[in-house]
Amino acid sequence: MSAKLSRGWLGRVITITLLAGFVPVTTAACFGTFPITRKVFRWNAGVHSDKWVRWLVFVLINIVPVYFSAAIFDMIFSNSVEFWTGKSPMAMAPGTTKHVEGPNGERAVMTLREDHSIDVRITAPGVPDQQLVLVRETDAIAAYDEYGLLIARVGDGPDGEAMLLAGATLR
């Protein structure tokens, strides 16, 4: 009888100790950007234009636990690294350049600045080169031309879809 009491008591103590150690680690100021989970979300949002297809894919990748696995990875690795270093391990480092090519010879060269804005140079056959700077704002992304004039500001609309919040007339 005393063996049953001690095992039950020991099990409760171990459970309480694990929870007491686990809860602060998972809930205290370690809230990061969840980069992998966001990539899964963006992929899911771009799967198809039909909301029912997106919903079905959402349900399937929750049954297979893709979202769950991404969130656990972010919680244990990405967000912890981001919390302790102040930098997301999934983000580009300042000075990093990314090249994107379009189907008709268009090219965009994007370089991340120290202030986390992005310099973009766009080239296309037979068209003058264009330069702009993308700046992340509190609730939008703004594009400025090489003279610092606002070209466009895009953010969430009332329905949650991307919406042009401000824009200049293109010359």
Query: Is residue 92 in a domain?
Result: no
Question: Which parts of 49-129 fold into alpha helices (H)?
Answer: 51-63, 66-73, 79-85
Last residue in a domain, options 27, 51, 85: 85
Same domain, 62 and 9: yes
Query: Is residue 91 in a domain?
Result: no
- For residues 139 and 51, which has the higher predicted lDDT (pLDDT)? 51
Last residue in a domain, options 64, 85, 106: 85
Same domain, 11 and 79: yes
**Domain housing 112:** 97-167
DSSP class of 76: I
Torsion of CA 42, 43, 48, 50, to 10 degrees: -40
**pTM for the complete prediction?**
0.46
Query: Is residue 128 in a domain?
Result: yes
Query: In terms of Cα–Cα distance, which of 92, 97, 44 is closest to 67?
Result: 44
| Phi, then psi, of 93 in degrees rounded to 5 | -85, 150
Question: Binning pLDDT at 50, 70 and 90, where does residue 52 land?
Answer: very high
State yes or no: pLDDT of 5 exceeds 70.
Answer: no
pLDDT digits (tens, 9 = 90+) for 74-127: 777 777 777 776 666 666 677 888 787 778 888 888 888 888 888 888 888 888
Same domain, 125 and 162: yes
